[in-house]
Structure 1
């Protein structure tokens, strides 16, 4: 078992079978629990619900759509209605069981019900474990963009069950590696070394380095968010690759896996930094080599620039008309690039769509 403290406020437990012990971390005074899970994780959701009922807690399981279809105002309103019908109070708890979309949704509903009730996150995907479930960012999507409506609401605990990863489709696990590799580029180069030493092994949860990769990525996230919960400064580095990545997701109506979009987004950010004279070609090439070695995409089709640029201008880091990107000066040296020129933006797009 590995335990990562997030600023001393809560813990992330990484252990086989820990999803069965949600009742151990709900806290005192809890009478009711709403367990939110995607339809594809019904078995895990029902197991968590049963474990809570065994402790005398009135637990209710509710299924939501898979992937980004869960992160809508309509689904959130349905969950608020359930909470109201069952009489949930501020001492009761919401449990998010699923990937990053479900932990985002469950956290947002918890943050907004009665202006805040506790939430426990049980991420069932690699992406959820190393990114979405840790740090207290919650939110839903709108037609205008991803995560534009949300709140900061740290969980009471995060339980990362390694057993659940064994049931994850390989494509989804590989997509989650994008967030792991991102942590290697922005803070912890050892992650890159581990992936480069055994790219094929990195793509499976039973590899010798799987636990270390996950723990290192979670520690990067925990260290950053404990210093900057509300993304006022340092936390923006966790958005490396996300400005262009979120634009891809919006243009494609969220049909592409988040990690795949972020992988392309990191290459775009690297090419943009190179075009701006900030980053060496050697590090740009390393982006493509590491990401492609585990099967992640590093290129995007041409012909979509106008829509992508419009989507990027709605990014949370944008200030007025000023586009802002997280880029690298070198591995583990993230900086902000503010107001890149139109030529630099287009040069980077041409490089990823060549």
Structure 2
């Protein structure tokens, strides 16, 4: 019994030893697994921490850049508003009554055309200026000036789709154009003339004859950099003009004077042409030529589509007394154009707005037509002729 007991105790003791060893082995394995788990967990924590730091860093950088851009945009917009309006005020409620609206009101009162005409005192001494309405809903610019002796002067002309109506109006006045002045090479200004010239080149008799076309356009390479939107038009009009006789296509420069009967047309500026390191928005607008026409003692100023830079260039290079005019064509259809200081220098009595209804009303709320209207009200201009009212005639 004693032996048995010892062996039994021995076996139990050995069993405990083996069990303890197994437990130790299991504990060590578990410990290794736990340590491995902790290492992997810590590694993932480190990776997640690094990613979090990177995300926070990129987020901060993005936020800073966005804030800087926003401040820059605000500063740019503020500067633009200062240039455009001289203040940060808005002019949403400013309205002007056009001469066309006054005529419609008289018509509703039963006034005849003769009675209405009798209420308008002639100011051009026998000459007649007509601002043609666009034949599409787009903005455009087209003027006809008949001298007292009957010669015809055209300024720009409008889109390609305006050509038929323009030809009709020219034919009503005899079909002969003594002088055609182009402000710049945008489609809404030269498209109609391009239609006529290409039709004649193709052998079509348009019924229109033109003595001289006056212009000052940049090279095609310049338009490739500064005005891709109207590159095709620039190419086409330059090609068409190059195909005309030299005495018909007449490049002009600042100081040139052209006489048509008793009307004297003066070229006031050299074309504003920024270099390739200064590419702006629609540089072709700022490249507009400014023509001053003296018609029987009344001065008319045509500004094309001048914007801020082109307008400032004119202010810097033309004496302010030479800019004064009785009648001014509102630059760039009356919005996002020259500064208030430009119009102050002109000091007009009458404004010509080559402006469609949607732009006059600022339908999309993104144009500066209200600001320009406010300037004219502040300058005391009481007569406004607008394209939205149809063909507008000043005698």
Tell me the TM-score range normalised by the shorter chain: under 0.3
> Who wins on radius of gyration, i.e. which is larger?
2
TM-score normalised according to structure 1 size: 0.23
